[in-house]
Amino acid sequence: MRCEIQQSHRQENVWRHRNTVTSFTQFALLTSVLLVCPGAQTPASPSAQQRESVTDAATPNENAIHISAAIDAATDYIIRTQRDDGRFQYLAHVDPDVSVAPDYNILRHCGTTYALGMAYHRAPDDRIAKAIHRAQCYLIDSCLRDVPGEEGLLAIWSDPEITGERESVAKLGGSGLGLLALLALGPEHSAASMQQLQQLGRFITFMQDDDGRFVSKFVPTAGGKDRSWNSLYYPGEAAFGLFMLYEADHDLRFLQAAADALRYLAETRADDTFVPADHWALLATAALLPLLEKCERTDDNALLRNHALQICESMIRNKNEVQKFTPEAGCFTADGTTTPTATRAEGLLAALHMLENENDDARSQIQFHAQQAIAFILKAQIAEGSQAGGFPRAIGQIPRTHPMYSETFNRRAGEVRIDYVQHALSALIQYERIVKSDNE
């Protein structure tokens, strides 16, 4: 049964950015976060030209207002650009004369629905709830179906007619994020039934080996489980989705599978000097740790905390390296792209919840770099025009004199893709929660 839906200048001169910055209340406000470094051009606009250093004159209340306005604007962008069938505007450009590809990505659809759920729980609103419901209905009607040869399993499928891929694939990350999307309003208000949610969860556990490792893709034409490629993010997405399912149905098998997945990641990375910037693993670990006592191996606490600290330290170490190339202050990449910084902010902010007993220096470092990242994200948000509230691929174009100059990069710098907005929105909401918690 189908789910019922409730009802020209050059690019560098097109978009204007917000120039606000916020901070944790126990930290002094940064005086250099919004200063433009020479590595990338900020789009010329009155707001950019009038940019001033941040001073201690900004009050906690003013900072809270800035954060709240940015969250509201990003939420509004997602909703007002959503199509009637529940899909989101996947890709646009600040310059209307630049054409964009018509592709769609189901995993990013799910992630965006999850971010809207965060916005709804922050400030319940019927407009947000209806947008989530439309997105869930599209997901159920177009992508949720049986797994060939496996009775009682459902998966989120990426099909050629939607995504432009060569063949239908059930991606592990799609089903993990699918659970997050379908549970965005809670199980009682989901467009999916509890049976459908559980069958989706069972597909994820079906894709898991005894040691906790996941297979990333199920491809019917390849005989089912396809081990030819492993995703960095899918295990964390799957673990987080399983945790959310456990919260809905209290089946310990799903919680245990999530713990097994995170333990596998932690054990296989334990001796690594550099650990990938796996923000989904951080989000899943922060959610799971308070319930670890319900799992078979309660002694995993130290292992999982160590893994979280490893990820955070690697993120920060890499950022300190790219700072040598004079990028935008607060940005985690040398080219001023926004989403790598937003995802790292998500991970670092999640880590603060689970690393309360770590040494003060580690927490201070995590807090400081998360703060800088949020300042960069705020500055990147588009403040006016048809894409207002969204986030561009990069905060600006790279000048011809810079060694990283690329015409392709500069042409794409003004792209606004739905995951750019999703990750920035999620990070901002996480940050706002911490600021409010500090003030209570």
User: For the segment 210-245, what is each residue's pLDDT rounded down to a tens digit?
Assistant: 999 999 999 999 999 999 999 999 999 999 999 999
Using alpha carbons only, what angle is made at residue 234 by residues 346 and 116, rounded to the nearest 5 degrees?
45
Residue 135 is encoded by which pair of tokens? Answer: 């997105």
User: For the segment 360-411, what is each residue's pLDDT rounded down to a tens digit?
Assistant: 889 999 999 999 999 999 999 999 999 999 999 999 999 998 888 999 999 9
Q: Does some domain include residue 176?
A: yes
- Specify the residue for token string 């004369």: 97
Residue 244 is encoded by which pair of tokens? Answer: 């959310």
Q: Does some domain include residue 3?
A: no
Q: Does some domain include residue 4?
A: no
Q: Check whether 16 has a pLDDT greater than 60.
A: no
- The domain that holds 256 is classified in CATH as 1.50.10.10
Q: Does some domain include residue 319?
A: yes
CA distance 353 to 370: 13
DSSP per-residue string spanning 72-104: HHHHHHHHHT--TTS----EEESSTTS------
CA distance 218 to 231: 13
Please tell me the predicted confidence (pLDDT) of residue 62: 72
Q: Does some domain include residue 289?
A: yes
Confidence of residue 59 (pLDDT cuts 50, 70, 90): low
Q: Check whether 44 has a pLDDT greater than 90.
A: no
Residues in the chain: 440
Q: Residue 180: which domain range?
A: 11-439
Tell me which amino acid residue 157 is. W
Number of structural domains found in the chain: 1
Mean pLDDT of 184-207: 98
Q: Does some domain include residue 431?
A: yes
Q: Does some domain include residue 70?
A: yes
* Residue of 27 and 123 predicted with greater confidence: 123
Q: What are the start-end ranges of the H helices in 270-299?
A: 279-288
Cβ atoms of residues 147 and 196 within 8 Å:
no
